[in-house]
Chain A
């Protein structure tokens, strides 16, 4: 019995930090509609700052708690800087474009933290005065855990008072329900957004700071916590603080007990719980359908077929690509294969996101299933390359059909989160099924057939599959099926009224996008000769999102431009020191200069130079 009580208390102690970071994320999303990927970075910086400040006052109780609070306040200031210099300029950009900006911030903060604190893990001190353990029902419980269990509800109570007893809090709640209305009442939105961002960032900083006596501070904290924080926010209902608390407790306590039964489950458990909650309650436990009012977006222009001149230019580029192995070095050929794989991946994501309006935070799942499908077909079934290249996309199609069926029942951010959950579950299963997938060691020795082993020959295999895939998806975009997807995105009510089966259409769109991502994964697997679990990871999914959004979501050429820019820049800067910092800065530069993406920026430039007529896209 005592043992179970101890597990329960550990779970509750874990919940406190998770609650702090998740409620900050939830408040920020509620008011500004920004999905803040940089929230994990605020958490990490909070931990590092607390580590440094507390070290100045060894053994002092006041020094420890003062350091923790100072760290939270400094992170709040950091939040203010991010909001004022970056986000404030792009609130009018298409929704989710801010997400790319916050991802740029993630990269920049990662390298800055490394420059300041170094790459080694930092071990924080025990909390002075709370460094021993007390016995509860015979089990030793760290005193600090008990303090944490109190901190969570105390912060919840503080926020509740702030939201219900102050004018500012009422405005925050009002803005969470209907931001436009609050603006119409004459509230200074810029000020409200800044203040919200500071509060959210400070809470994340506090969440990180109070963790230092319990776990080491390291550079991977940011992305490892952000997934769980998203899950908690979504389970609780986006914008709901008490929901975040209940969800944090639920996840942490479930986890504390689940690991007793099945130790490997902790990686996937939060995502399984989220998937179940979203299927039963599409807006989370305490969430409401929320006003769809984000920033007013400009309506998308109709699709036009390319002019004959543009077609000629494109054909010339494709021919140049086809002829490139004749002149390019092997190294360049490999880079070009990477480029084509990334482009097909981005185009498939754009297909569901841009045309279908279904934003995916977990598109890498289908890329990865395609890659693993082919790899396992080779290593277990002993299939040669061509049949394995058929197995891969089929496996991706099955996965996309399965998860897509659930995902299309939701919309907006909730749909995005369910795709993330699906990807994390697949990643966790792949990571842990050592005997089938090789776990962390991956599957190696996936080489092309003997006739395609040279870099040049494989280039043409990749060329045929990737360019063929891209061509096919473009063709579908102009077909009734692609128009139908856009129709559902524009107005599902109208789509239903002309007799369309809305959900089925979205489901098929999801499956097609997943299948084509799987094809990209197959080409990738054979070009690298190996697959590792990170092909299905958050990082890969985010790369795809950045490519699509960077390129411009409103143009068919967007993902192609975005993938090209992304791969070339990454290839160039990743050889430099502090490449994440540089890459993050480049992303922010593009975001601030061209809020409609590279395609939009090019379009506006052409119009400014008089090379293109108005209304033509």
Chain B
């Protein structure tokens, strides 16, 4: 069965149709990329899946369960983890405390007023840190981490509640090229080991072609192509969008790839 089913998703902002009739499936353990030039509707699409935006039309189903109208935090509780384009962490806490917070929330102990937060779920948190190779940084203040480490920390936080689906919005944005490769290799390995399904948006084509099992291409709100890296590379419409559009943005994307 598909983990995620998206059917006829549509959203307009005023006169602009940001996402138009988008449908796709995400299979168990699949690593699915959502790409497209700037303004194609990737982020809008994403925010409808994770509950921050309510679509005008369409359906989003997680393991067969309808997600439309479900609040973001409840979607999280149904097993959807997420990372952000710009990292969002609790800067006044240590690395391991950030993960402990996710575990405390997952286990429904956020209103516990008497236990010491730093002593809860420590072993689990350490295991997650080892997973992203950050065990040696557990006690560092989050505010002093390098950006690449923050990205890895976010990944560990997102994995804490053992999600079935991981939504990653531009996971490598703002990172150095060598770090990008390392982070995506790590992510791909986790996907394979834990059987998590991942939907991610990405600008870096190296990352996309190297790791995605399947690629969706959005342009002007509509899905214009879907397939493996081979299919997408050979797709005339995609080449048109990325290379032939003549806009400076399209050019920049092409240079990038």
Contacts and interface: CB of A to CB of B under 8 A. Distances in A.
B92 A300 contact: yes
A508 B142 CA distance: 26
Interface string B139-154: 0011100000000000
Given A480-B109, A480-B120, A500-B73, A486 B114 contact: no
Contacts of A508: 111
A529 B101 CA distance: 45
B73 A499 contact: yes
Contact of A491 (B90, B106, B113, B116): B90
Nearest to B72: A496
Given A497-B88, A508-B111, A302 B97 contact: yes
B93 interface: yes
B112 A479 contact: yes
A526 to B, nearest CB: 27
B117 A483 contact: yes
B88 A479 contact: no
Nearest to A475: B114
B77 A486 contact: no
Contact of B161 (A299, A486, A499): A499
B84 interface: yes
A476 interface: yes
Given A476-B113, A500-B110, A505-B110, A486 B93 contact: yes
A297 to B, nearest CB: 11
A490 B90 contact: yes
A514 to B, nearest CB: 15
A240 to B, nearest CB: 25
A487 B116 contact: no
Contacts of B94: 302
Contact of A481 (B88, B113, B158): B113
A491 B157 CA distance: 14
A301 B73 CA distance: 27
A471 B106 CA distance: 28
A483 B76 contact: no
Main secondary structure of the interface of A (DSSP, over half): helix
Interface in B126-171: 141-143, 157-158, 160-161
Nearest to A487: B90
B49 to A, nearest CB: 13
Best-surrounded residue of B84, B89, B115, B118 (most CB of chain A within 10 A) = B118
A500 B103 CA distance: 11
Contacts of A303: 92-93
B109 A501 contact: no
B97 A483 contact: yes
Contacts of A487: 90, 93, 101
B105 interface: yes
A491 B88 contact: yes
Contact of B91 (A475, A491, A493, A498): A491
A494 interface: yes
Contacts of A480: 101, 104, 109-113, 115, 117, 120
A484 B110 contact: yes
A587 B102 CA distance: 41
Interface string A163-204: 000000000000000000000000000000000000000000
A615 interface: yes
A229 B114 CA distance: 42
Contacts of A528: none
Contact of B101 (A476, A498, A615): A498
A479 B101 contact: no
B153 to A, nearest CB: 11
Contact of B141 (A301, A305, A482, A489): A301
A478 interface: yes
A299 B116 contact: no
Nearest to A501: B73
B82 A299 contact: no
Q: Which among A475, A496, A508 has the highest number of chain B CB atoms within 10 Å?
A: A496
Contacts of A484: 101, 104-105, 110-111
Contacts of B112: 479-481
Interface in A443-488: 475-476, 478-484, 486-487
A487 B92 CA distance: 8
Contacts of B115: 479-480
Contacts of A302: 92-94, 97, 141-142
Given A300-B91, A505-B110, A497 B76 contact: yes
B77 A494 contact: no
A615 B117 contact: no
A493 B50 CA distance: 13
Interface string B7-35: 00000000000000000000000000000
Contacts of B90: 486-487, 490-491, 494
Contacts of A479: 112-117
B150 to A, nearest CB: 11
A432 B97 CA distance: 50
Given A299-B91, A496-B73, A481 B110 contact: yes
A270 B40 CA distance: 48
Interface string A291-310: 00000000111110100000
Contacts of A299: 91-92, 141, 143
Given A480-B120, A483-B101, A615-B141, 6 more contacts: A302-B92, A302-B141, A481-B110, A491-B88, A497-B76, A500-B110
A-B pairs, 8 with minimum CB distance:
A299-B143, A494-B88, A300-B92, A499-B76, A483-B117, A490-B90, A498-B102, A480-B112
18 contacts: A302-B93, A305-B118, A478-B118, A479-B112, A479-B114, A480-B109, A480-B111, A480-B120, A481-B113, A483-B117, A484-B110, A487-B101, A490-B93, A493-B84, A497-B88, A499-B76, A499-B106, A615-B141
